[in-house]
Amino acid sequence: STRDEDRLSRAADALREVTHARDVALVISDHTLLAERLGLDGVHLGDAARSVRHARKTLGEDAIVGAFCGTSRHDGMSAGEAGADYIAFGPASASALDDGSYAETDLFEWWSQVIEVPVVAEGGLDDAALTRLAPFADFFGIGEELWRAENPAEALARKVQAMRAGLSG
């Protein structure tokens, strides 16, 4: 979440070797030029479709370019048409932030049935949201829900259990 390029560069250097050794992609949020300069696998854009074409042109066809599209089906389709490799919708449940709107289950269900571009659920991912969205989301963008927990390993185990419950139900 920082804009401090030195801090981001040090974090990327530390993570690049670990992630690549495990065949895990390393993607940075909103910093297309840093992704290119640091040799990262791609960028996650927070502005829907607005900078997908620029990121694709800058990073090339092999890079991962994802787009967060909030709750907008239209923005998701536009980002997909612009070349995004995945579309993220969220938050997945209501919160006190912003206006309280959230990406409802029917958006994920529709997307998974109609659109080929993978869909990611991001934000507001409590266990109930994970269970509800597991049949429709290709991926989950879990962040603070995990890292703010007192024991992140236990929190991750609960999250995985919630996803499995959604897939088996």
Domains of the chain: 90-169 (3.20.20.70)
pLDDT at site 4: 83
Q: One-letter amino acid identity for 75?
A: D
Residue position matching structure tokens 């529709």: 110
Cα-Cα-Cα-Cα torsion 101, 1, 23, 165, nearest 10 degrees, comes to: -30
pLDDT, one tens digit for every residue, the chain (169 residues): 567 889 889 999 999 989 999 999 999 999 999 999 999 999 999 999 999 999 999 999 999 999 999 999 999 999 999 999 999 999 998 876 667 889 999 999 999 999 999 999 999 999 999 999 999 999 999 988 888 899 999 999 999 999 999 999 7
pLDDT at site 1: 56
Task: Please tell me the distance from the alpha carbon of residue 37 to that of residue 35, in angstroms, as a whole number.
Answer: 6
CB 88 within 8 A of CB 52: no
User: How many alpha carbons fall within 13 Å on the CB side of residue 150?
Assistant: 0
Q: What is the dihedral sign for C-alpha 112, 130, 149, 70? A: positive
**Spacing of C-alpha 2 from chain mean position:** 17
pLDDT at site 85: 98
